Structure 1
């Protein structure tokens, strides 16, 4: 599919693939080999490189693969002020736990270990009426690109590459 778009003039193509929970049957390039890499960020770099190498050589300079280690909502665990600007005090089911999570993870990209601790599941549990489709973009806007990039190094690197096209 990427090749179709890359074949159109001088267009660039990127991905934002939520890594966590991808079934083995999808068999992305380098998928099985990546499972031997214990460092999850190094694993993402490896998978991005493998995906890039799976594209025709003459099209690679216009393809920027990116795997989000965990779902997009992980990036939203950035600062309490953004949550306070988005939600009323009564909407917090457990603000102390939210603050604890924010303090525990210097890099919010690393939040998640199983389906019950996925960032969106945590937000569902901590904020009354949380809806990821509605509130994800509002929170991201309140956080701001500078803060998103500052705390999330892989995301920052991807955005940096996009800016330098």
Structure 2
């Protein structure tokens, strides 16, 4: 871009990784406590929410569809992330937090 004010943010895999960070909130929205455990296990195994992604078949969006029958991506995901809140999202997603810090 050639402009010092342009500070792009590239999500490592998909915005759904932020939904993994908000796994407890998604589980609460859906009334399925076991979902939180599943998302937490995937997050721990990957080394963090932003790193959940082994292949196109197991990408975060594919996992959410598999784990959550009738998952409404554009509704449930943003609601869960909103319920998590910006500060906790920053704590759970260091790549995102670093970008926000650069914005000043």
Q: TM-score range by the shorter chain?
A: 0.7 to 0.9
Q: Which runs of 5+ in 1 are unaligned?
A: 1-54
TM-score (norm 2): 0.84
Contact 2:12–2:50 (8 Å) recurs in 1? yes
Out of 70, 84, 103, which is 1:143 matched to? 84
Cα RMSD, aligned residues only = 2.0
Contact 2:22–2:89 (8 Å) recurs in 1? no
More strand by percentage:
1
More helix by percentage:
2
Q: How does 1:13-162 map to 2 (within 5 A)?
A: 55-56=1-2, 60-89=3-32, 95=35, 96-162=37-103
Give 1 or 2 for the bigger CA radius of gyration. 1
Q: Which runs of 5+ in 2 are unaligned?
A: none
1:140 positional shift: 0.6
Over residues 83-117 of structure 1, what are the superposed CA-to-partner deviations in whole Å (9 max), with x where a residue is unaligned?
Answer: 2321123xx7x635334214324421111021111
Runs of 4+ in 1 over 6 A off after TM superposition: none
Higher relative contact order (CA 8 A, sep 6+): 2
Report the count of equivalent residues. 103
CA distance in 1, matches of 2:46, 2:28: 21
Contact 2:26–2:77 (8 Å) recurs in 1? no
CA distance in 1, matches of 2:22, 2:78: 15
